[in-house]
Amino acid sequence: MNNETVNIVRVAMIGDIVGSHGLETLTVKLPVLIKEHNLNFVTVNGENAAEGFGITEREYKLIIQAGVDVITSGNHVWEKREFWSFLENEKNILRPANYPPSVPGAGFARIEKGGVNWIVINLQGREFINAIDCPFMRFDSIVNEQKDVAKPQIIIVDFHAESSREKEAFAYHADGRASLIACTHTHVQTADERILPKGSAYITDIGMTGITDSVIGMDIKICQERFRKQVQYQMKPAVSIEQGQLQGIIAEIDADTGTAVSVKRIA
């Protein structure tokens, strides 16, 4: 019989917050989730927290106060220009690492918590979205830079991309090097969570935190008019008298090896 104790940690990655209703849902439901599941680490994608487009200092502070360790983002992180200097100075909010190095902010964070070195990497895809530097190569370079970091070490990736093909290809590229690869951007949670052959937990999209009776968190009628008339009306987050839904994923990870033990969707 093997009497060795496995050092299991639990990490949650929460899907894109959409507007004030999504933010309210997070602040109410995340503390309960952390307690119920005994979570050791939490990331949230916050790029749509400021009324559906971008993030400001106000939303940043509320997200952190809810119990989030690192905020990730994507192509909408640049919407609020007044936030750029804040992005530059705060190390637990990320922009995709494969943007040119001259833009504000950092693309990955290293946080020591609970005796574990947590490395969170934020990357953006290139298919059907503005093409920037190669996320595959940028991931390789970051991982190589972190080889000397003291163990135990857990690498988490938010891959913000439109194409499910690109998401899956990236996941197999990172398999065995990242503990958890959770993708964002489409706001629609997929049902393909699994542990890949080399031990990485994966899901194609973790969904969103916002009003479910909507079009990806946005007002239904406005979205319909955009498609019917082909006029780019300004989208607005959906509103409701009922609380929204928090979506994401929870993975159990062996902290000593970085290998995922289990993975499940939350909604």
Mind telling me the catalytic residues?
Answer: 76
DSSP element (H, E) containing 117:
strand 116-124
- Contact 217/189 with Cβ under 8 angstroms? no
**Listed residue (142, 197, 146) closest to 168, CA to CA:** 197
Q: Per the structure block, which two tokens stand in for 30? A: 């995340």
Q: Per the structure block, which two tokens stand in for 181? A: 């690869």
10 Å Cβ neighbour count for 78? 19
- Contact 205/186 with Cβ under 8 angstroms? yes
The shares of helix, strand and coil residues in the chain, as percent rounded to the nearest 5, are 25, 30, 45
Cis check: omega of the bond before 237, within 30 degrees of 0: no
CA distance 210 to 237: 9
* Residue 42: φ, ψ to 5°: -140, 135
| Cα pseudo-dihedral 145, 147, 153, 158, rounded to 10 | 40
CA distance 193 to 176: 16
| Cα pseudo-dihedral 248, 249, 255, 258, rounded to 10 | -110
Contacts of 232 (CB under 8 A, 6+ apart): 226
